[in-house]
Amino acid sequence: MATNASTTEHSTIRQWAEKHNGVPGVVEEATTANDSRPLAIIWPENRSDAKLREISWDTFFDHFELRQLALAYNTTDFKKDYEFVARG
């Protein structure tokens, strides 16, 4: 059974991503302003995707806080069920 969780803790997000070889990134969209590009966790199998650009954890969390986001994720099926959601 899947277990859902959400967090705003930077250390938890980073540990979760790194445990599965993920790195912080943004989705490059030509029509999106630099400050509003969607955040992403880039998994090894997606690192060659031209639409994804790796960024530092500091930059990632700056945008994460600026947008007041939380990570909603599935603790048992880590890659398929995660998204960044508004805090609330």
DSSP notation for 13-58:
HHHHHHHTT-EEEEE--TTS-GGGPPEEEEPGGGTT-TTEEE--HH
Q: Domain boundaries in the chain? A: 4-86
pLDDT of residue 1: 44
pLDDT for the residue 31: 60
Residue 23's DSSP bridge partners are: 42
- Predicted TM-score (pTM) of this structure: 0.85
- Label residue 75 by pLDDT band (50, 70, 90): confident
User: Which residues have CB under 8 Å from 1's CB, separation 6+?
Assistant: 76
The answer to whether 39 touches 24, Cβ cutoff 8 Å, is: yes
| pLDDT (mean) for 59-69 | 97
Q: Flag whether pLDDT at 33 surpasses 80.
A: no
